[in-house]
């Protein structure tokens, strides 16, 4: 039987509606407008697209958007000064510094300069520690979006075998922590994992976040498993014409969809959920800041 397609685009639209309703109540009942500051350093085209989308969706939900675009040659000290200014600004409830930063910057130092209460990415070391110890934290947006889709699909995740392929700080590690928090039995697989196909075949839940186009074939998937594909990879598509490209995930969609119980498509799966969760985190930060 073919897998159910998990429609992340529709799910994200529902989350954004809930965010917008919450924002409207905050304005009407408390006179507060949540604000999100996004900082982009340099001209990376993919980052520019992400930042533009974040700003647009922030405004569409009724929140204030503050965009700060800095030249790639800006010094780390200047960026840190901007972060300090945003930390002190009461109209700013969430701060996101778009990654990657230019090579001359220490990303950890910049992220850890953000007030943890305004760290809507959940990357600050305090939030990482809070999540790892099961305490209230800001939760990274992509793993949070994946978890929302998994809960919606499966209900309770308790006792399920979950494999997270990829050990990045942005997705793999926090995803594993969230699944552990749901009482899954969690394996984090990576490039050195022995017999990856066998490890993946045991899993009721597969989260692929490695950035390798179509790396996971259908015959690695346990029949009926839920597959969450975080990868967004652009590959050549000569069938569409000379020089054309298309987006694919980390899973070979067609063959995985034949075996899985449910699967997220690329595009239209995890991607839209990430920004929706960023907006939700900004409202959460605003509510916590205002008691």
Contact positions with ligand GUN (CB under 6 A) in 210-229:
none
Task: Please give the full DSSP string across the chain, using - where no structure is assigned.
Answer: -PPEE--HHHHHHHHHHHHHHHHHHHHHHH----EEEEEEES--HHHHHHHHHHHHHHHHTT-EEEEEEE-TT--HHHHHHHHHHHHH-TT--EEEE-SSPPTTS-HHHHHTTS-GGGBTT--SHHHHHHHHTT-S-PPPHHHHHHHHHHHHHHS--TT-EEEEE---TTTHHHHHHHHHHTT-EEEEE-TT-TTHHHHHHT-SEEEE-S--TT-B-GGGSPTT-EEEE---EEEE-GGG-TT-EEEE-SB-HHHHHHH-SEE--SSSSHHHHHHHHHHHHHHHHHHHHT-
| 275 contacts ligand GUN (rule: CB under 6 A) | no
Q: Which is nearer to ligand GUN, 248 or 277 (CB)?
A: 277
CB-nearer residue toward ligand GUN: 48 or 185: 48
Examine residue 82 and tell whether it contacts ligand GUN (CB under 6 A): no
Least CB distance to ligand GUN at residue 271 (A): 10
**Cβ proximity to ligand GUN, 30 vs 85, nearer residue:** 85
Among 98, 127, 153, 177, which residue interacts with ligand GUN (rule: CB under 6 A)?
98
Q: Per the annotation, does 232 bind a ligand?
A: yes
Catalytic residue among 98, 118, 153, 173: 98
Question: How far apart are CB 231 and ligand GUN at their closest, in Å?
Answer: 13
Return the residue of 20, 70, 74, 99 that touches ligand GUN, per CB under 6 A: 99
Of 54, 118, 173, 222, which residue is the catalytic one?
54
Per the annotation, the verdict on 54 as an active-site residue is: yes
- As a whole number of Å, the end-to-end CA separation of the chain is 49
Question: Residue 224 Cβ, how far from ligand GUN at the closest point, in Å?
Answer: 30
User: Is 170 among the annotated ligand-binding positions?
Assistant: no
* CA atoms 12, 13, 16, 22: torsion sign: negative
Among the residue ranges 60-68, 91-99, 229-237, 261-269, the one whose residues contact ligand GUN (CB under 6 A): 91-99
Q: Is 166 annotated as a binding residue?
A: yes
The burial of 1, by beta-carbon neighbours within 10 Å (0-12 exposed, 13-18 middle, 19 or more buried), is given as: exposed
Closest approach of ligand GUN to the CB of residue 45, in Å: 13
Q: Is 196 or 247 the residue whose CB approaches ligand GUN more closely? A: 247
Per-position x/- string for 30-49, each x denoting binding to ligand GUN as judged by CB under 6 A, each - no binding: --------------------
Q: Output Rg (C-alpha) for the chain, integer angstroms.
A: 19
The answer to whether 96 contacts ligand GUN (rule: CB under 6 A) is yes
Out of 118, 119, 121, 153, which one is annotated catalytic?
121
Annotated binding residues for NADP(+): 166-168, 232
Task: Catalogue the active-site residues.
Answer: 54, 98, 121
Binding site for ligand GUN (CB under 6 A): 96-99, 121, 141-142, 170
């Amino acid at each position: 039987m073919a897998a159910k397609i998990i429609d992340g685009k529709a799910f994200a639209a529902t989350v954004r509606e809930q965010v917008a309703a919450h924002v409207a109540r905050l304005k009407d009942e408390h006179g507060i407008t949540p604000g999100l500051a996004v900082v982009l350093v340099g001209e990376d085209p993919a980052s520019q697209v992400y930042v533009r989308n974040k700003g647009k969706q922030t405004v569409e939900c009724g929140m204030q958007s503050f965009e700060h675009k800095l030249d790639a040659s800006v010094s780390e000290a200047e960026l840190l000064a901007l972060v300090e200014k945003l930390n002190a600004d009461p109209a700013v409830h969430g701060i996101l510094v778009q990654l990657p930063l230019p090579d001359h910057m220490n990303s950890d130092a910049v992220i850890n300069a953000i007030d943890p209460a305004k760290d809507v990415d959940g990357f600050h070391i305090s939030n990482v520690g809070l999540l790892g110890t099961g305490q209230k934290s800001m939760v990274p947006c992509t793993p949070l979006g994946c978890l929302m889709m998994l809960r919606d699909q499966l209900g309770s995740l308790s006792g399920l075998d979950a494999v997270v392929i990829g050990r990045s700080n942005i997705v793999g590690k926090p995803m594993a922590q969230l699944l552990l928090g749901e009482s899954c039995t969690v394996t984090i697989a990576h490039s050195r994992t022995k017999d990856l196909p066998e490890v993946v075949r045991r899993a009721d839940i597969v989260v692929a976040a490695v950035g390798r186009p179509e790396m996971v074939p259908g015959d690695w998937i346990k029949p009926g498993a839920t597959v969450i594909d975080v990868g967004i990879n652009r590959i050549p598509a000569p069938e569409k014409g000379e020089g054309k490209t298309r987006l694919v995930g980390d899973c070979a969609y067609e063959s995985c969809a034949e075996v899985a119980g449910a699967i997220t498509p690329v595009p239209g799966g995890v991607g839209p959920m990430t920004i929706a969760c960023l907006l939700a985190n900004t409202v959460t930060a605003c509510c916590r800041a205002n008691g």
